[in-house]
Every structure is written in structure tokens, then in C-alpha cells.
């Protein structure tokens, strides 16, 4: 018998049983990856390899690893939906349940729940090579379902698994499993009462008594006053509550009955208790979870990951920036001067550059996360970091996303998908943008170098100040997490329940596949938004265009009324330069000599700087732009922070990326040249800038207020774009923007006004 229509086979199993490897062995690794509707959980599906499928067409649908069908959240509900073919999922023709040969009793629990649904099932007893003397025939006999020993990494047993699957698919109906749980009359009565209230959609056309009871099991196991399930009719909810109130401890009775049945089966066959790998793992954990050595290793691993993100991504970022810069120059050479040229060069190419510049860090972060996850160390991170993270209202697994926020919030936010609960993901996303990302460094370094002495009272002021900014932001982020987890994102606290899986060597190919997929997803899902936002910002700061005729007559100042209206948002040369010096300063606690040279030279030029300001004659075009006008209109609101409209324009420009503050400010002051060339003259300009009454605009106090503002404000459209993408709406990005701006404004206000009151 051959079939032309696709057979659908669901792949199910506990976490860490090698389900992904088996999926790859069955499908050759090809996958159509999409998200489950409304959830940030990946749904992978692919065709069973032709050599395995014979004349059948079989599509394999992977499901998230789960210990049980019962669910508490919409994420955990995926399994039951896939099993019942709800919410657009195809109704499965058969199941492959993947079990860890060394963890049979726990894996059989899920198997038992699935068998109760009476769907054709084949069991893959995976990692069979790691156990000695497991009698598969005896197991199959006592379960009454096909059992095939597999080693998904080598492909051992996969052809046989496919053969047994084909036989099941061709069969009329599933065989009656021998393993069935002798539930007592009280449980049966409870199940039947619940099954009367089950919605039609769950039951399908014709549901047997057994299937109805199995669905009642799901309802009884999942629904309670605190669950976060979707699509549960009120009637069913009420019935479950009623039945539960009438019986004594159904949870215990049902789960115990199941484990009793499992233990009886396992008693008949010889099943090993601990595998070689589990024993080896325990020896490794003696070191890696040792209170002292383990903590030390943890710190080393995390430092390595962070260092790689912070510094290791730099060559790739610089290369991408050079490429974008080259393309911009090429466009400007090839096309005639004018708005089209500027739009292409500054708007489009600059905008695309603003998107791809994130790729190196995204790829690196997901590579590391993949290694940590696949090796089994991620669970240890969650275990070791739980005590600290818990006090902030965060899950231990949020540690890596939080840490990578110090490099860049964009990959950090993307990586929150590894957190299972929506609330944990949201909370982490709300707080990560407060971490001092590398794009803030060029801003700090400009302000610190321009307004603060290298040393004072024998202390390296500049380095200490930078360190203080890092600590200040970290403290604020932790405080924000603490407050948000108890207010806006207050939810039922879910106790920690972690499995510490046995260690395993990560495999290169699947790791690279994940990295590729994540990069693609970012480009596809967030790239467009970032591009559009960059173009809008470019337009804001470039229009209306100043009539050049009005200026040509006036002076040489025309020189800077050229196409560099919005000097592309990629200014990482200055960023990386700043990282190099400023970060080193912070680390060493000593002001680098380089900075001293810069300031000395700048001071020499200081006297002349003020005289050159040509604003009266021919103002820089950016000052006439809509952006400039908006900033002027906002000046009364900025004044209490010590900012004038020119800084306001810089802040506006910085939305494209924080470091753009430096180049935008340079444009406002009509300074030409790339960032490195511009930074020296810009510093002089800032020092020379005077209020109408002759007092300096840029005082150290104002500089501090500006840095505090940058530390706390969400000056980054890319961050907001990925938050929108990950949360599926504008609510959370608007909230992040709102609360961070309020925080930034308030803190800068306090710093500036407080400082003034104290006489600074």
C-alpha cells in the first residue's frame, strides 16, 4: 500500500535525550523553521529522508522537549496542541518518542501519557551505546509498542526505527499497548466527570473512551487557578476545580499509579541505574560545581565569553564598517550630487550597515550559547547563578543574556529566547538595555576626555570616572530588575526546577546551523525596522536642505555644507579606539598616556578654537534640519539637565546608535572629517562653547549629567526594534523607552540641579 498524501509524525521526548540529533538523522538536518503562532518557540519540520521513507511521504515535526504532557504555560501547551492537531497544527499519524536509555523510568512517564492517547507510537531508545545489557526485546514485550535502540549521533538504529515507523503508519490502527495503568475507580470516576466537559475541538470526530480519559488527564494535570494556559473553556476550568475539590489528592494518586506501573515493567527487565556517561559527569561536577573551584571556573568561562563578544567581534565589525564606508564613497563618486545620492549613500547604505553591524556579535553570542547549552554547562550556570539572580527576581539562565548586555543589548535580547517563561524573558529584556553596552563608550570617552582632568589629587580621574559609570549602570539595572519584578512584571513566582544533564561534547555542524538560522532570523525580523528607523533619522537631520546659494557667497564655511549631512551611523572606529584606551584605563585604574597627549594638544589649540565658530555666517545644515528645530523647541525641557539644543540634536542623532552622538555633535559644530579626525577639534569646540552670559556650556557637572543621561536612556532604535520583534507588539518597547527616558531625565536632573545647589 502506498500513499501519496504526507504522513505527519511528531517527534517527542524529554529534554536532553538527543531529540535534535535524532531529528537530524531522520531528516538529514533540513528543516523548515517557523515560530509557533504567538510564541517565540521554534517549530521545526522536515521530510523524512527518502532512503528511510521508502514509498511513503513522511514529514517529521519536532516538538520542544518536555517531561510531561501536562502544561502550565502556553509554551508547554505546544505538546498537547500538536498531539491533537489544534491551532493549525496537522493531526499526527504517528509519534516517535525519544527516550534516554539511561533514564528509562523518567522517560517512560511521558511515554505512558502519550500511549494513553492511542496514537500509533514507536519508541527510540536513544544513547543505547551508553548502557550495557538493556534487553530491548523484553522491554518491547512488556510495553507492547515497537522499541528500537538508537544512537542518533552515529545513526545506529535509525534505519530500523524508520522501518518500524513505516510498518506502524501502514497499519490500520495502533496496537493496544500492554503497559496500561490500573487506575482505581475513584480516578476513573474523576476522569469521566472531567471528560464530559471537554470541548469538541479537543475530541475530534470520534474519540474513544480511552482518548477522552487521556485528555481529561491533561486537563486534571494542567488546569488550576494559577495556570497560564490558553483556549481553556470556562466550563472545563470549573469542572476541573469541582472534581479536584471532591477527590483526595488526584495528582499524587495518578502520578504514583503511573510510576508504580513503570517500576513494575522495569523490574521485569534488567535496566541499568547509572550510565557510564552519568558517572563520568558526576566526576566532572565534583570539580565544576565545587564551591571554590567551580565558582572560579564559572567566572573564567563567563569572562571568556564576555571578552570574546566585547573584543573578539571587533575585527569583523570594523571590516563590515569599512565595507559600508567604501560602498558609500563609491556611491558618492558614481552619482551626481543631490538628494538621491545622499539618500542612497547616507540613508540606505548607512541603514543597511546599521543592521549588519550587529551580525558579528549575534553570531558569536549564539555560538557560545550553543556550546554552553549542548555541553550541558548552561544548566550548571543556572544552578550556580540562581542564588544571585533570584534576589533580582530573575531566573539563573538569564545570567548569560544579562552579561552579554555589556557588549550589546541587541544580541542579548535575542538570546532571551532560551528562557522558558514569558515573564522571565520580558523582565530580562526590560533590564538588559540598562547594561553599559560598548556603544556608550565613545560618548563617555569624548565627554571624559574633553571635560575632566587626567589626574587630580594623584588619582586617575578619567579612568575612575569610567569605572564609576559602569558600576552606576549596573547598580541601576539590578535595582530596575528588583523593582520591575515586584511591580509591572509581578507574577506567580515559579520555583526553580533544573535538570543537570550529563555532559556531552557539542557537535560543530548543528551549532553552525543554529548560528546561521539566528543570524537569518535577525536580518529578516528586525533588519527592516532598524533600516527604516535609520532612514527616518537621517531624513530628520537632513531636511529641509539648506539652500547652498545662500551660503556660497558668505565664506569658506561652505566647505562643510556638503553631502555629509548625516555622517553614517557607523562610527565604530572611534568606538573601538575608545574601547581600547578607555576600557584599559578603567581596568588599570591609570589614565593612559595617550589620553594625556590628546588633551595637551587640545589645550594648545584651545585659544583659537572659539574664534573660528562661523555659525553666524553660515550655520551647519544640521542645525536647520527638522531634528535641529525639534531640539530647539525642546530646549526648555533640556535646560534643567544642563543641555542646550545642540546637545539635544546630538541626542536625537544618537537614536540611530549611541556612538552617533559624537559624529552628530561634530556636524552641529560644523566639524569635518571622520570621527578620529573630528574628535580632537570637537573636544576643543566643546570646551570653548559659551552660554550667552559667557559662562561655559560644557562644565564637568554638565558632562556628568550628560553621561548619566546616556547611561540610563534607551538611545537605540535597534534595541527597541528587537524588543518589538521579540514581544510581538509596541507595548513593551514603548514601556522600555518610557521608563528608561524617565529614569535618565530624573537622574540627570538630580545630578545637575543637585550639583548646582552644592555650588559646582
Partner 1 sequence: MTLADLEIGTEARIESVGGARAFRRRLLELGLVPGTSVTLVRQAPFGDPLELRARGSVLSIRRAEAETVHVSIP
Q: Of these, 390, 421, 545, 632, which contacts partner 1 (CB under 8 A)?
A: 390
CB of residue 289 to partner 1, shortest distance in Å: 6
Per the CB < 8 A criterion, the answer to whether 432 and 402 are in contact is: yes
- With CB under 8 A as the contact rule, the residue among 42, 192, 242, 386 that binds partner 1 is 386
Question: Does 239 sit near partner 1 (CB under 8 A)?
Answer: no
- If binding is defined by CB under 8 A, does position 499 make contact with partner 1? yes
Rounded Cα distance, 540 and 535, in Å: 9
CB of 369 to partner 1, least distance (A): 20
Smallest separation, CB 252 to partner 1 (Å): 7
Q: Of residues 135, 235, 246, 251, which one binds partner 1 by CB under 8 A?
A: 251
User: Is residue 147 within a helix (H) or strand (E), and if so which, with residue range?
Assistant: strand 147-149
Q: How far is CA 522 from CA 299, 530, 726, in A?
A: 29, 11, 10
Q: Which residues, numbered 504-543, are part of the site for partner 1 (CB under 8 A)? A: none
Q: Decide: is 614 part of the binding site for partner 1 (CB under 8 A).
A: no
Tell me the three state secondary structure of residue 122.
strand
Closer residue to partner 1 in complex, CB, 291/458: 291
Q: Which of 500, 536, 577, 630 binds partner 1 (CB under 8 A)?
A: 500
Binding segment (CB under 8 A) for partner 1, from list 49-57, 78-86, 253-261, 703-711: 253-261
Among the listed ranges 51-59, 231-239, 493-501, 538-546, the one in contact with partner 1 (CB under 8 A) is: 493-501
408's CB contacts (< 8 A; 6+ apart) are 309, 358, 361, 437, 438, 439
The reply on whether position 494 binds partner 1 by CB under 8 A is yes
Cell numbers for 378? 548552561
- Check: CB of residue 17 under 8 Å from CB of residue 110: no
Convert residues 723-752 into a mask of x (bound to partner 1 by CB under 8 A) and - (unbound): ------------------------------
* Partners of 43 in beta bridges: 34
Following DSSP, what letter does each residue of 80-144 receive, concatenated? HHHHHT-TTPPPPSEEEEEEEGGGHHHHHHHHHHHHTTT-EEEEEEESGGGSS---HHHHHHHHT
- Nearest approach, Cβ of residue 410 and partner 1 (Å): 31
User: ∠323-652-409 over CA atoms, to 5°?
Assistant: 60
CB of 224 to partner 1, least distance (A): 5
- Relative to beta strand 58-62, strand 147-149 is unpaired
DSSP-assigned states of every residue in 272-295: -SS-HHHHHHHHHHHHHT-TTHHH
584 near partner 1, rule: CB under 8 A: no
319-323: long-range contacts, CB 8 A cutoff, minimum separation 24: 320/353, 320/356, 320/357, 320/359, 320/360, 321/353, 321/357, 321/570, 321/572, 321/573
Query: Measured between alpha carbons, how far apart are the two ends of the chain, in Å?
Result: 89
Closest Cα to residue 575, out of 363, 360, 332, 311? 311
| x/- track of binding to partner 1 for residues 660-689 (CB under 8 A) | ------------------------------
Measured between alpha carbons, how far is 355 from 722 in angstroms, rounded to an integer?
11
Given 67, 472, 732, 735, the residue binding partner 1 (CB under 8 A): 67
Give the residue from 524, 650, 569 showing the smallest Cα distance to 348: 569
Between 300 and 335, CB nearer to partner 1: 300
Tell me which of 29, 85, 177, 294 binds partner 1, using CB under 8 A: 294
Contact 105, 259 (CB under 8 A): yes
Site membership for partner 1, residue 613 (CB under 8 A): no
Among 252, 611, 757, 758, binds partner 1 (CB under 8 A): 252
| Conformational region of residue 204, where left means phi above 0, alpha means psi within -120 to 50, and beta covers everything else | left
What is the DSSP pairing of strand 58-62 with strand 7-13? parallel
Site for partner 1 in 96-125 (CB under 8 A): 102-103, 105-106, 109
Task: Figure out which of the listed residues 310, 383, 406, 645 binds partner 1, where binding follows CB under 8 A.
Answer: 383
Minimum distance, C-beta of residue 399 to partner 1, in the bound complex (Å): 13
Among 497, 692, 757, 758, binds partner 1 (CB under 8 A): 497
Number of residues forming the site for partner 1 (CB under 8 A): 44
Least Cβ distance, residue 98 to partner 1 (angstroms): 15
In angstroms, the CA 64 to CA 79 distance is 7
DSSP assignment, residue 503?
P
Instruction: Name which of 221 and 670 has its Cβ closer to partner 1.
Output: 221
Judged by DSSP in three states, 564 sits in helix
The span of 63-71, 455-463, 612-620, 711-719 binding partner 1 (CB under 8 A) equals 63-71
Q: CA Rg, the chain, in Å? A: 31
Contact status, residue 65 vs residue 19, Cβ threshold 8 Å: yes
8 Å CB contact between 407 and 366: no
- Contact between 248 and partner 1 per CB under 8 A: no
Residues 263-292 interacting with partner 1 (rule: CB under 8 A): 273-275, 278, 281-282, 285, 289, 291
CB-wise, 278 or 439, nearer to partner 1?
278
Rounded CA-CA distance 585/562 in Å is 37
The helix/strand/coil state of 99 is: strand
* 72 near partner 1, rule: CB under 8 A: yes
Cβ nearer to partner 1, comparing 242 with 499? 499
Q: Which is nearer to partner 1, 393 or 501 (CB)?
A: 501
By beta-carbon proximity to partner 1, the closer residue of 54 and 256 is: 256
The piece of 209-217, 220-228, 555-563, 681-689 that touches partner 1 (CB under 8 A) is 220-228
Q: Does 503 bind partner 1 (CB under 8 A)?
A: no
**Residues in touch with partner 1 (CB under 8 A):** 67-68, 70, 72, 102-103, 105-106, 109, 221, 224, 226-227, 251-252, 255-256, 259, 273-275, 278, 281-282, 285, 289, 291, 294-295, 379, 383-384, 386-387, 390, 494-502
Amino acid at each position: 500500500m502506498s500513499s501519496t498524501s504526507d504522513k505527519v509524525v511528531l517527534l517527542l521526548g524529554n529534554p536532553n535525550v538527543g531529540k535534535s540529533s535524532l531529528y537530524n538523522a531522520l531528516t538529514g538536518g533540513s528543516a523548515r523553521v517557523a515560530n509557533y503562532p504567538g510564541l517565540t518557540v521554534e517549530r521545526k519540520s522536515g521530510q523524512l529522508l527518502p532512503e528511510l521513507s521508502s514509498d511513503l511521504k513522511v514529514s517529521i515535526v519536532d516538538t520542544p522537549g518536555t517531561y510531561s504532557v501536562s502544561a502550565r504555560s502556553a509554551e508547554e501547551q505546544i505538546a498537547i496542541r500538536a498531539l491533537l492537531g489544534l491551532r493549525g497544527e496537522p493531526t499526527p499519524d504517528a509519534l516517535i518518542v525519544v527516550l534516554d536509555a539511561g533514564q528509562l523510568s523518567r522517560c517512560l512517564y511521558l511515554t505512558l501519557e502519550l500511549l494513553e492517547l492511542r496514537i500509533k507510537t514507536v519508541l527510540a531508545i536513544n544513547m543505547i551505546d551508553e548502557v550495557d545489557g538493556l534487553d530491548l526485546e523484553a522491554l518491547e514485550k512488556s510495553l507492547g509498542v515497537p522499541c528500537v535502540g538508537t544512537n542518533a549521533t552515529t545513526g545506529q538504529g535509525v534505519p530500523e526505527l524508520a522501518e518500524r515507523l513505516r510498518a506502524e503508519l501502514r497499519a490500520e490502527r495502533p496496537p493496544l499497548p500492554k503497559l496500561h495503568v490500573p487506575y482505581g475507580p475513584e480516578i476513573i470516576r474523576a476522569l469521566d466527570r472531567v471528560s464530559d466537559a471537554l470541548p469538541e475541538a479537543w475530541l475530534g470526530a470520534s474519540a474513544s473512551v480511552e482518548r477522552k480519559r487521556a485528555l481529561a488527564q491533561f486537563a486534571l494535570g494542567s488546569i488550576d487557578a494559577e495556570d497560564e494556559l490558553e483556549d481553556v473553556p470556562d466550563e472545563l476550568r470549573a469542572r476541573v476545580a469541582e472534581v479536584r475539590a471532591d477527590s483526595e489528592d488526584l495528582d499524587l494518586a495518578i502520578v504514583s499509579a503511573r510510576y508504580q506501573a513503570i517500576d513494575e515493567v522495569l523490574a521485569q527487565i534488567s535496566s541499568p541505574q547509572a550510565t557510564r556517561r552519568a558517572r563520568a559527569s558526576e566526576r566532572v561536577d565534583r570539580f565544576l560545581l565545587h564551591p571554590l573551584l567551580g565558582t572560579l571556573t564559572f567566572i573564567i568561562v563567563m569572562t571568556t565569553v564576555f571578552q570574546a563578544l566585547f573584543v573578539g567581534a571587533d575585527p569583523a565589525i570594523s571590516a563590515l564598517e569599512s565595507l559600508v564606508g567604501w560602498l558609500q564613497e563609491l556611491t558618492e563618486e558614481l552619482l551626481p550630487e543631490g538628494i538621491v545620492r545622499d539618500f542612497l549613500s547616507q540613508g540606505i547604505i548607512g541603514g543597511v550597515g546599521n543592521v549588519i553591524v550587529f551580525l558579528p556579535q549575534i553570531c558569536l553570542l549564539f555560538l557560545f550559547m550553543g556550546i554552553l547549552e549542548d555541553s550541558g554547562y548552561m544548566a550548571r550556570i543556572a544552578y550556580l547563578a540562581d542564588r544571585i539572580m533570584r534576589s533580582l527576581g530573575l531566573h539563573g539562565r538569564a545570567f548569560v543574556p544579562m552579561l552579554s548586555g555589556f557588549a550589546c543589548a541587541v544580541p542579548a535580547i535575542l538570546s532571551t529566547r532560551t528562557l522558558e517563561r514569558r515573564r522571565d524573558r520580558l523582565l530580562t529584556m526590560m533590564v538588559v538595555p540598562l547594561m553599559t553596552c560598548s556603544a556608550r563608550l565613545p560618548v563617555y570617552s569624548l565627554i571624559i576626555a574633553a571635560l575632566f582632568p587626567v589626574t587630580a589629587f594623584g588619582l586617575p580621574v578619567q579612568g575612575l570616572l569610567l569605572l564609576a559609570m559602569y558600576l552606576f549602570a549596573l547598580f541601576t539595572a539590578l535595582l530596575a530588575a528588583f523593582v520591575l519584578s515586584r511591580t509591572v512584571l509581578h507574577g506567580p513566582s515559579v520555583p526553580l526546577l533544573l535538570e543537570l544533564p550529563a555532559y556531552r561534547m557539542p557537535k560543530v555542524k548543528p551549532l553552525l546551523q543554529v548560528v546561521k538560522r539566528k543570524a537569518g532570523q535577525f536580518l529578516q525580523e528586525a533588519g527592516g525596522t532598524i533600516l527604516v528607523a535609520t532612514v527616518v533619522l537621517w531624513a530628520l537631520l537632513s531636511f529641509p536642505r539648506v539652500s547652498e546659494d545662500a551660503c556660497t557667497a558668505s565664506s569658506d564655511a561652505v566647505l562643510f555644507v556638503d553631502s555629509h549631512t548625516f555622517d553614517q551611523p557607523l562610527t565604530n572606529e572611534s568606538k573601538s579606539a575608545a574601547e581600547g584606551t578607555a576600557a584599559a584605563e578603567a581596568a588599570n585604574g591609570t589614565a593612559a598616556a595617550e589620553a594625556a597627549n590628546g588633551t595637551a594638544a587640545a589645550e594648545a589649540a584651545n585659544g583659537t578654537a572659539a574664534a573660528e565658530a562661523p555659525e553666524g555666517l553660515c550655520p551647519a545644515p544640521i542645525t536647520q534640519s527638522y531634528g535641529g528645530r525639534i531640539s530647539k523647541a525642546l530646549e526648555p525641557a533640556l535646560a534643567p539637565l544642563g543641555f542646550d539644543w545642540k546637545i539635544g540634536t546630538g541626542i536625537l542623532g544618537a537614536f540611530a546608535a549611541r556612538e552617533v552622538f559624537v559624529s552628530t555633535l561634530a556636524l552641529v559644530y560644523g566639524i569635518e572629517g571622520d570621527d578620529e579626525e573630528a574628535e580632537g577639534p570637537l573636544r576643543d569646540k566643546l570646551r570653548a562653547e559659551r552660554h550667552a552670559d559667557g559662562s561655559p556650556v560644557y562644565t564637568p557637572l554638565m558632562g556628568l549629567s550628560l553621561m548619566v543621561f546616556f547611561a540610563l536612556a534607551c538611545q537605540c532604535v535597534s534595541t527597541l526594534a528587537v524588543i518589538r520583534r521579540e514581544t510581538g507588539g509596541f507595548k513593551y518597547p514603548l514601556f522600555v523607552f518610557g521608563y528608561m527616558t524617565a529614569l535618565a531625565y530624573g537622574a540627570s536632573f538630580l545630578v545637575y540641579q543637585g550639583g548646582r545647589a552644592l555650588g559646582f
